[in-house]
Amino acid sequence: MSVTIVGAGVGGLTAALSLHAAGQSDVRVLEAARELRDVGVGINLPPHAVRELTELGLGDALDKFGVPTKELAYYDPAGKLIWAEPRGLEAGYKWPQYSIHRGTLQRLLADVVRQRLGENAIHVGQRVTGVTQDQGGAMSIAAIDLATEQPASFTADVVIAADGIRSPVRNGFYGAPIPLASNGWVMYRGVTKSGPFLSGRSMVIIGDETQRIVVYPIAEGLLNWLLVRPKDPAAGQSELGNWNASIPTDVTAAFVKDYRFDWLDVHQLVASASEAYEYPMADIDPLPRWVFGRCALLGDAAHAMYPFGSNGASQAILDARVLAYELANAASIDSGLQAYEEHRRPAVSEVQLANRRQAGDVMARVSALARSGAHGDAATELQDVERRYKQLAGFDVDALNNRKSWSISRAS
């Protein structure tokens, strides 16, 4: 079986490694970028994602380049602790939770893909424009070779569309671009060279329903931060789905001018970043279909979601592992792809909707309790929300620790 994966992001590269681990050797990845570079900022990988990457043989690399998260702590805007809980191994998982630079993770995945599948497994500068299937089931992939600006074409038995929130492959099957939804909030992100704070492996969420900032280390001497707040009505229109729009750091720092605590000076942290990015919050409504003939959607192409709960990339990693597992166990390609959709689409659709709720009413309830001085009730609310979300997203401690593996024995 030959497989072409469209998109060399975290989901697409994990799919390539998962298919190879399941016994597929004829796998290629087409990527629109002319080169894979360490771009972006930090990413958090909860234990359900780390389990899958560890079972693909990346555990030592994650431990070398990532930071194992010890705790998650919520603070009110005055810097008073509302609630904290252990994370990763400290919470009883069999696998750690890691924070890492997204570019570092993508590079690690790409390096291993080339080691296992060959130096030419990843084809950069190939902007895929559409996919078609003939009556015999063969898939044809149309692309533009950006080096020559000439049309290019590829064939495969199976196509995996991991080409992002604006997925041309997905939009082609749906007959029109899938509209991006927004809640009117904006995320500001950056990375700052800084010493450790609190435990040195803490992730903190500071703020209320009007704005909040998340801070955590992604390498020694490097802190990742992301701030979310409603868009300024006077500001110009920003492009939805664009992760790389720069913004002056002093603009972002002004939002947190009062967030100065003895355990972390958030204002100084944001002001000291070498660069900052503005990202209008965007997702898509849950899709009614992920599989079109022998083409399957994966990651943001299938379920772009608001970046709450550290689950955008994590759910793409789970997609990849389940897809390879179902294809390896199915009687046919078609039944394998259908099993993948039946396994993943309903569950991830619920995560998409939960992330919308996380962005709205949850923090309003918690913040109202905290402002009234009822920090204990606010802590109980957060604990209940986190517990339900873990169950929904697939990283309840007992369920994850005891779930069977999606790895495929080569002997089988």
pLDDT at residue 295 greater than cutoff 90: yes
pLDDT at residue 249 greater than cutoff 90: yes
% the chain with pLDDT above 70: 97
Residue 238 has what pLDDT? 67
pLDDT at residue 223 greater than cutoff 70: yes
State pLDDT tens for residues 250-281: 999 999 999 999 999 999 999 999 889 998 88
Judge if 57 and 134 occupy the same domain.
yes
What range defines the domain where residue 396 resides?
A: 3-66+97-180+286-402
User: What count of other Cβ atoms lies within 10 Å of the Cβ of residue 67?
Assistant: 26
Pick from 129, 133, 156: nearest CA to 143: 129
State pLDDT tens for residues 85-104: 999 999 999 999 999 999 99
Whichever domain contains 353, its CATH number is 3.50.50.60
Pick from 279, 280, 277: nearest CA to 246: 277
pLDDT at residue 368 greater than cutoff 80: yes
% the chain with pLDDT above 90: 78
Within a domain: residue 83?
no
Judge if 44 and 164 occupy the same domain.
yes
Within a domain: residue 389?
yes
Judge if 48 and 190 occupy the same domain.
no
Within a domain: residue 305?
yes
Judge if 160 and 305 occupy the same domain.
yes
- The model carries a pTM of 0.95
Identify the band that residue 237 occupies on the pLDDT scale cut at 50, 70 and 90: low
Within a domain: residue 356?
yes
Judge if 129 and 256 occupy the same domain.
no
Within a domain: residue 22?
yes
Query: Is 198 within 8 Å of 188 (Cβ atoms)?
Result: no
Identify the band that residue 361 occupies on the pLDDT scale cut at 50, 70 and 90: low
Within a domain: residue 28?
yes
Query: Which of 234, 257, 280 lies at the terminal end of a domain, its last residue?
Result: 280
Identify the band that residue 412 occupies on the pLDDT scale cut at 50, 70 and 90: very low
Identify the band that residue 364 occupies on the pLDDT scale cut at 50, 70 and 90: confident
- CB pairs under 8 A, 24+ apart, for 218-222? 218/41, 218/42, 218/43, 218/66, 218/67, 218/99, 218/100, 218/101, 218/191, 219/65, 219/66, 219/67, 219/100, 219/101, 219/104, 220/67, 221/193, 221/194, 221/195, 222/101, 222/191, 222/192, 222/193, 222/194
What residue has token string 């109202």?
368
Q: Identify the three-state secondary structure at position 9.
A: coil
**Residue-wise DSSP of 132-186:** EE-TTS-EEEEEEETTTTEEEEEEESEEEE---TT-HHHHHHHTSPPPPB--SEE
Judge if 151 and 195 occupy the same domain.
no
pLDDT at residue 362 greater than cutoff 50: yes
Judge if 373 and 239 occupy the same domain.
no
Judge if 130 and 162 occupy the same domain.
yes
Judge if 143 and 158 occupy the same domain.
yes
Q: For the chain, what is the total number of helices (H) and then of strands (E)? A: 13, 22
Identify the band that residue 22 occupies on the pLDDT scale cut at 50, 70 and 90: very high
Q: Identify the three-state secondary structure at position 23.
A: coil
Within a domain: residue 247?
yes
* Distance spanning both ends of the chain, measured CA to CA: 16
Query: Which of 280, 298, 313 lies at the terminal end of a domain, its last residue?
Result: 280
Identify the band that residue 121 occupies on the pLDDT scale cut at 50, 70 and 90: very high
Identify the band that residue 109 occupies on the pLDDT scale cut at 50, 70 and 90: very high
Q: Output the CA torsion sign for 348, 91, 42, 367.
A: positive
Query: Is 328 within 8 Å of 25 (Cβ atoms)?
Result: no
Judge if 245 and 394 occupy the same domain.
no
Identify the band that residue 226 occupies on the pLDDT scale cut at 50, 70 and 90: very high
Residue 162 has what pLDDT? 98
Q: What's the whole-number mean pLDDT along residues 24-38?
A: 91
Judge if 159 and 267 occupy the same domain.
no
Identify the band that residue 169 occupies on the pLDDT scale cut at 50, 70 and 90: very high
pLDDT at residue 106 greater than cutoff 90: yes
Say how far residue 218 (Cα) sits from the centre of its chain: 15
Judge if 336 and 190 occupy the same domain.
no
Number of domains observed in the structure of the chain? 2
* β-pairing verdict for 295-297 and 158-161: parallel
Whichever domain contains 222, its CATH number is 3.30.9.30
Query: Which of 223, 251, 280 lies at the terminal end of a domain, its last residue?
Result: 280
Q: What's the whole-number mean pLDDT along residues 231-236?
A: 70
Within a domain: residue 148?
yes
pLDDT at residue 39 greater than cutoff 80: no
